[in-house]
Structure 1
Amino acid sequence: MKMIIANSFLLAVMSGLMPSSLAAQDTAVPRDGLLLWLEADTLSATHKNGDAVDVWKAVAGPSAERCVSALPDGRSATAPTFTADAMNGKPAVRFDGADNQLTVPGTIAKQLAGKPFSIFMLSRSANASFGFTGNSANGNGGVPRLYVQRQGTIYNDTKNNATLPTAASAAELAYAQYDGVSQLISYLNGARSKEVPTPKVDAFHGRGELAIPFWPGKPIAGDLSLIIIYNRVLSDAERTGIEKHLLAKYGIVGGASTAANRTDAPAAPVNPNLKTVVLIGDSIRMGYQSYVKSALEGKVNIAAPAENCRHSGVIVENIKKWILDVKPDLVHINVGLHDLIVNKFSGAFQIPVETYAANLDIIFKTLRENNIKVIWSTTTPVIDALYAKNNSGQTFIRHDADVMTYNEAAREVMQRYNIPVLDLYAFVKTQEVDGFYHKDGLHYTGNGSRVLGDQVSKYILDNLEP
């Protein structure tokens, strides 16, 4: 795939090839030296909430594609998902902090090594390290490095970093600028870091492709709405012009990372007259969450962690932050697919079924002691043939038989605590695979997530106290 450089991009604009939906941004974003412009707006016409993003079509430069190289731990990457309103009501691409990754093929990162650059990134995450790297196709580390993160930018090594305090789960606009000689500066929502003396490097570690997000496999989930990269230092007028435009478009308060920018999930109830429900779960929950929120708008306040809750042990560790501090009227939990992961080499489960049951016991005992009502959804199926075919490069595997075993263990815990159970496993088994499941045999299409969201929404209403 050939990269569109500034001159060819200008020709495209002159020829009327620029997407009409971005015409309003025409004067806000200079063209000179523009290497890459990714914005989630471009996905709105082709993607619905929860749809997999295998290709993120660029406004300028090469599009981002699902990573084909093995991740640092040997697994295969999966596609992130589209969400229509995650960035203060604007579109974003959601990365689950597990194995979602996109890369930008080509030589953009290589062109930045030892040369001036200006980079914008608009993101939302509970983790200050969320962002992207220019090191290699799989996001692995190494020196010299380029890490563009919410908290700032690292160039060469960790001693050369320009950082600013970031607010967890806020929508924030980060900007990085290197003069090509010795000075690195970061901005956050228009606020400036100090200049950091930074040695010039000739090349970055690895293949030098842009990888999104920074180091998959770490619990660094987040939403990304925009990346813009120039091969030059923007003037102050150009930088502030772009910042002003983007801050206004995405409803971000400029000047600093402030509470006004926070879109925390869980969040304070939007309507104090409505009951609050917290959704807890893995990427399956993240897929249907927006549909639940839409279905219950005006009836219930929906809150949820911004990150992938992964497995039962992570929920135990974060139960105070994710649930107790929110003081919800009801909690819906759907977790298990990360617990039952089996290592292909050792045969060990990530969380053995006995530990899974013990973790659930801790969770429900804690919620009972705090007078918080909870409902449970069974873990959804794995389509074994599809999963084995499309995840062969991973170092772990999942089996539908294990899903049934873990669901049975969970049911025993639910019975002890008299917890209502929505059998999503049985429901999904009644659906046609085509058009419902993602090709990985584990996740769901936008339609599949919507149908699951309908089931969860109805069950929430059935179990809320009047």
Structure 2
Amino acid sequence: MSITARRLTRALSAEYTPPGGGAVPGDYTNLLLWLKADAITGVADGAAVASWPDLSGHNYHATNSTAIERPTFIVNGTNSLPVVRFNGSQTLGANAPTSGGEQTVIAVIKPSSLSGVKTIRGGAVQFRLEDDSIQVVHEGVGLIAKAFLPAASTEFQVLTMTLSTSSGTVGMWLGNVCGWYGAQSAGPFSADTTGIGVSTIWGEVFTGDIAEIACYDRVLDDTERTTLVTSLRQKWNAVYPADLPAPPNGVFTGQKVAIIGDSLTYQSGAGSVNVPASLVNAGWPSGGVWFYGVDGKTINTPDAGGYTTVQNIQQCLTNFGTPDVWIFTLGGNSVGAPDRADQIQAVLDAVGSEAKVLWTTMGTANAANDSSILSLNTLIKQICGDRPHTYVGDWFAYCFTHVQDNWWSDGVHMTTGGYAVRNAFVAQQSIYASLVE
């Protein structure tokens, strides 16, 4: 996009001034489509929206030629700003392309319920909800990614998806919290039009309110995405989830995180999926992540390289410095160890009483029926629960309520898709751990 076009989109958005001079979608290059309800003029409260103007400069206005299928304009939808309301039979369409190999879609929405499939942006790549699940769907392949964080029907929220065929990755964020980031092959595209509130392939429609949508034909970088999302959250009072982290240039500036784990963290054979990348996408600065993982690692006995976890901690302190959060994803190889409580305590003692710690519980495909894992998780919760500045990330509980067969390669170790979900979970939990007192 030219500088002139960027200035134009800024001027067109003059009716809303972001708090503190915050970002608007037109501030970033490669903007393909920008719809915001507060740019609609000449439409009365409760009247049908025949045309939703595109502010990208491309004039991909979203329209519907059939009057009874047009969504409704609601003057005071949220935060004293209007929204466009869809009832399940109302849709809009635009000529903006959706088949690019590099994409970002950011949408401010509030679904009317969390049941059924609700398309936010349709086309070659469908961005949608299925019940409370945020999903990215390919026109030919079908479902290619599903976030582990649930959407809400009681609050406005900012949802983001990114797709990169060059790097083979898909990302999804709820607010600024990463709900999925991992390797995924999307395949070729053919469909090339945009449906607003409808899938142009399967006809699945949205019910609820849409306040703003911005689509780009590139992947916004972390700073761009978090800055824009933060501004949109303020504008639309999109408060869900309430415990969002600040963008990387806020809470995480200059901060560090260290993670020590076993094969579920080392993830040999898992392709490009990895924990450090998920942590960076959750907001930790690139270069601010120290990582140690090895197959068979116990809580604190020598691993295949001859190192205990306490020795790993000393390596980190010497070579990386003191992290702001320590993450331990250990325990699966110590389920039967009689001294496992002493091992956990030795690790916690080594980081110091003031250190912030995240320790994840153990989850497997059949963990709910494994008494040794249940006993280990109870022990982790007891010991860590008694320590200040410590947060237990209950991966077992998440697996118990969300587990899918295609996560697991052997019941304990995971598929590439399963690791992507686990990594996103650990990354999200690291945010909570950074905020504990």
Higher strand fraction (1 or 2):
2
